[in-house]
């Protein structure tokens, strides 16, 4: 029964990935790619990794979907003909190379499965040292207590992606294409009144749940960013070309507090990034959530800053 | 066949498909999707081949993949910004070799 | 199979049938208004039945409350998005197809 479900998921995964590369129009590709992200989150659920399932659904499918959609609108505003662009670069080498690479991946994976299953040494060490961190979710413990470097670099990569995107986007003409008509129907206001508090609640819950079970700063930040995207789409937030101190502080508070708390242990002769206690984990996760949400939102609006729209 | 084998095979198919799309597709957004699909294939391979610890999945590959997902989204966002800028400058979102004659097919 | 499991299965199968009908409607109906009609109604009923079936299987008040909330939020989102899509289509000048004349 379980294997049947796996086969259905894998078949739809392969079909969706095929369609998101070779569909007739670019718009169909985008839609299939978003659904591919959702199917990936089903894969993670089947592989018994709920943290990944939630991250993939929120970040992989949600945020990537919003980003590709808004980029698609910008592309269409320049030349609508490219929606129909067909894959035409049929190289004779493509198929053999792809088959060879796929075969290599299959060989590698099957060889690992064939070998005697040995639990990873790092994973065992994590499980043994887990009680000393005060956390119960081993994934959060790896991300913040044991491999803090990775997470520090991760948030730096996210911030660098935002800065690089802003550098290549022409900032002198603010992009009006996110919002074409003001959706001024009463239903939107009612939706916002319910969805916005609810999503803030959900992201704070995810943040707190990250220490016990499934959740964490990245999932929480993505939910918060989704709330911001809804606000931007309904015209409550508009992009602004004036840099704002508050926004810039919010963008950098995650990495700044990470570095700050990471440096403190050096004073006591302990290694860099040795987090003192579980409160440090909570503090870091909260500041990172704010930064992640703002970075993802600004990547969506493609502007330097955002502000409340007038009226 | 158990489900770990199935997911390893799925990862192989996805990787091959993504590489094929990366070579064949002309539009840069499709190429970006191809890269993402190849990345997802590797994520599946990492998690599906890791041995469980006390009947729970190994946390280290999970944390690696979680970092990978976030980095993939960052790279995708930057790639999209580059594509939009390229399209604004040149009017099209493909990379073609300019000195190649148009009628060679 | 116990009685509760039979009930739950009946709900799950009913929900799947509604989802199937909604999807067929999405693929087969002629214009955007009919398609929204199929999606917004059939899929929400399907979601309700599946949530009810799962709540019976879980037999735990907390899980049942979470499932009910999932259904309500889904209802909210699909209502507003269907309204916005239909409004956009209407304002951009798409006319609903005429009813087919009987010969």
Q: Does A241 touch chain B (CB under 8 A)?
A: no
The 10s digit of each residue's pLDDT in A267-311 is 887 777 777 677 888 888 899 999 999 999 999 888 888 888 765
Query: Which residue in A16, A22, A139, A222 has the most chain B C-beta atoms within 10 A of its own C-beta, making it the best mutation to test that interface?
Result: A139
Given an 8 Å threshold on Cβ–Cβ distance, is C84 in contact with A183?
yes
Inter-axis angle of helices A186-212 and A217-233, to 10 degrees? Answer: 170
Given an 8 Å threshold on Cβ–Cβ distance, is C83 in contact with A187?
yes
CA nearest A21: which of C66, B103, B15, C76? B15
For residue A175, the model assigns a pLDDT of 57
| Residue numbers of chain A with a pLDDT score lower than 50 | none
CA nearest B3: which of A42, A140, A28? A42
Question: Is B41:B33 a contact under the CB 8 Å cutoff?
Answer: no
**Please, which pLDDT band fits residue C101 given cuts at 50, 70 and 90?**
low
The 10s digit of each residue's pLDDT in C33-86 is 888 888 888 889 999 999 999 998 887 889 999 999 999 988 988 888 888 888
Question: Is C39:C74 a contact under the CB 8 Å cutoff?
Answer: no
The 10s digit of each residue's pLDDT in A162-179 is 999 988 886 555 555 555
User: C57: helix, coil or strand?
Assistant: helix
Given an 8 Å threshold on Cβ–Cβ distance, is C84 in contact with A188?
yes
Alpha-carbon distance C27 to nearest alpha carbon in chain A (angstroms) = 14
∠ CA A54-A62-B89, nearest 5°, is: 140
The strand pairing partners of C78, in sequence order, are none
Contacts of A141 in chain B (CB under 8 A): 59
For residue A68, the model assigns a pLDDT of 93
* Touching subunits for chain A (3+ Cβ pairs under 8 A): B, C
| Residue of chain A nearest C73, judged by CA positions | A195
The 10s digit of each residue's pLDDT in B19-36 is 998 988 888 899 999 999
Alpha-carbon distance C80 to nearest alpha carbon in chain A (angstroms) = 6
**Please, which pLDDT band fits residue B14 given cuts at 50, 70 and 90?**
very high
Mean residue pLDDT of chain B comes to 85
CA nearest B8: which of A112, A37, A51? A112
Dist CA A109 CA B13 (whole Å)? 12
Alpha-carbon distance A95 to nearest alpha carbon in chain B (angstroms) = 6
Contacts of A27 in chain B (CB under 8 A): none
Query: Which residue in A62, A185, A189, A191 has the most chain C C-beta atoms within 10 A of its own C-beta, making it the best mutation to test that interface?
Result: A191
For residue A232, the model assigns a pLDDT of 86
Given an 8 Å threshold on Cβ–Cβ distance, is A103 in contact with B16?
yes
For residue A279, the model assigns a pLDDT of 80
Tell me how far apart the terminal alpha carbons of chain B are, to the nearest angstrom: 45
Dist CA A76 CA A90 (whole Å)? 25
Looking up tokens 């990936």 gives A40
- pLDDT over threshold 50, residue B99: no
CA nearest A84: which of A32, A21, A27, A34? A27
Dist CA A203 CA A184 (whole Å)? 27
Dist CA B17 CA A103 (whole Å)? 11
The 10s digit of each residue's pLDDT in B46-67 is 998 888 787 778 888 888 999 9
Can you read off the two tokens belonging to residue A258? 């990470």
**Please, which pLDDT band fits residue B105 given cuts at 50, 70 and 90?**
very low
**Could you tell me which residues come within 8 angstroms of residue A192 by beta carbon, excluding any fewer than 6 positions away?**
A230, A231, A234, A236
Determine the length of chain C: 103
Query: Taking a contact as any Cβ pair under 8 Å apart, which residues of chain B between 22 and 41 contact chain A?
Result: 23-27, 29-30, 33-34, 36-37, 40-41
Q: Does B46 touch chain A (CB under 8 A)?
A: no
Question: Is A27:B27 a contact under the CB 8 Å cutoff?
Answer: no
Question: Is A111:A103 a contact under the CB 8 Å cutoff?
Answer: no
Given an 8 Å threshold on Cβ–Cβ distance, is A68 in contact with B45?
no
For residue C97, the model assigns a pLDDT of 77
Q: Which residue has the higher pLDDT, B15 or A122?
A: B15
Q: Which residue has the higher pLDDT, B96 or A115?
A: A115
Could you tell me how many helices (H) and strands (E) chain C has, helices first? 4, 0
- How far from chain centre, in Å, is Cα A209? 18
Alpha-carbon distance B105 to nearest alpha carbon in chain A (angstroms) = 10
Q: Does A187 touch chain C (CB under 8 A)?
A: yes
Dist CA A73 CA B84 (whole Å)? 10
Query: How high is the ipTM of this complex?
Result: 0.89
∠ CA A224-A230-A236, nearest 5°, is: 110
Given an 8 Å threshold on Cβ–Cβ distance, is B36 in contact with A85?
no
For residue A16, the model assigns a pLDDT of 95
Entry pTM: 0.88
Contacts of A84 in chain B (CB under 8 A): none
Asked whether at least 3 C-beta pairs link A and B within 8 Å, the reply is yes
**Please, which pLDDT band fits residue B81 given cuts at 50, 70 and 90?**
very high
Given an 8 Å threshold on Cβ–Cβ distance, is A187 in contact with C80?
yes
Given an 8 Å threshold on Cβ–Cβ distance, is A91 in contact with B2?
no
């Amino acid at each position: 029964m379980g294997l049947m479900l796996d086969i259905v998921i894998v078949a739809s995964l392969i079909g969706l990935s095929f369609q998101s590369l070779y569909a007739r129009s670019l718009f169909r590709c985008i839609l299939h790619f978003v659904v591919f992200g959702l199917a990936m989150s089903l894969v993670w659920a089947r592989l018994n990794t709920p943290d990944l399932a939630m991250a993939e659904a929120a970040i992989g499918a949600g945020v990537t979907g919003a980003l590709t959609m808004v980029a698609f609108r910008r592309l269409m505003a320049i030349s609508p003909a490219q929606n129909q662009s067909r894959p035409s670069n049929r190289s004779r080498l493509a198929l053999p190379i792809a088959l060879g690479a796929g075969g290599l991946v299959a060989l590698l994976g099957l060889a690992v499965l064939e070998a005697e299953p040995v639990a990873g040494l790092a994973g065992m060490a994590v499980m043994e040292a887990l009680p000393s961190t005060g956390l119960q979710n081993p994934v959060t413990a790896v991300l913040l207590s044991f491999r803090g470097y990775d997470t520090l670099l991760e948030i730096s990569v996210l911030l660098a992606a935002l800065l690089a995107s802003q550098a290549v986007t022409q900032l002198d003409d603010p992009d009006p294409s996110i919002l074409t008509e003001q959706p001024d129907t009463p239903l939107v206001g009612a939706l916002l009144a319910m969805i916005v508090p609810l999503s803030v609640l959900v992201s704070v819950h995810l943040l707190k749940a990250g220490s016990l079970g499934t959740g964490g700063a990245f999932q929480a930040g993505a939910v918060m960013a989704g709330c911001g995207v809804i606000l931007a789409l309904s015209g409550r937030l508009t992009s602004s070309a004036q840099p704002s101190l508050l926004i810039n502080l919010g963008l950098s508070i995650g990495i700044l507090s990470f570095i700050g708390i990471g440096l403190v242990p050096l004073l006591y002769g302990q290694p860099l990034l040795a987090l003192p206690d579980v409160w440090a984990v909570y503090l870091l996760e909260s500041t990172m959530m704010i930064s992640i949400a703002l970075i993802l939102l600004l990547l969506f609006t493609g502007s330097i800053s955002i502000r409340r729209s007038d009226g | 066949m158990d489900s770990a084998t199935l997911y390893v095979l799925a990862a192989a198919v996805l990787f091959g498909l993504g590489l094929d799309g990366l070579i064949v597709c002309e539009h840069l957004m499709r190429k970006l999707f191809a890269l993402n699909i190849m990345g997802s294939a590797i994520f599946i391979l990492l998690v599906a081949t890791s041995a469980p610890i006390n009947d729970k999945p190994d946390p280290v590959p999970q944390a690696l993949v979680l970092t990978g997902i976030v980095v993939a989204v960052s790279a995708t966002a930057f790639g999209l910004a580059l594509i939009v800028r390229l399209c604004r400058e040149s009017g099209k979102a493909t990379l073609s070799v300019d000195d190649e004659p148009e009628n060679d097919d | 199979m116990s009685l509760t499991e039979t009930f739950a299965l009946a709900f799950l199968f009913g929900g799947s049938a509604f989802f199937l009908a909604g999807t067929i409607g999405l693929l087969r109906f002629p214009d955007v208004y009919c398609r929204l009609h199929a999606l917004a109604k059939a899929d929400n009923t399907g979601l309700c039945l599946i949530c009810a079936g799962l709540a019976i299987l879980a037999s735990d008040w907390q899980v049942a409350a979470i499932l009910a909330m999932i259904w309500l939020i889904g209802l909210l989102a699909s209502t507003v998005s269907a309204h916005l899509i239909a409004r956009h289509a209407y304002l951009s000048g798409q006319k609903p197809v005429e009813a087919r004349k009987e010969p």
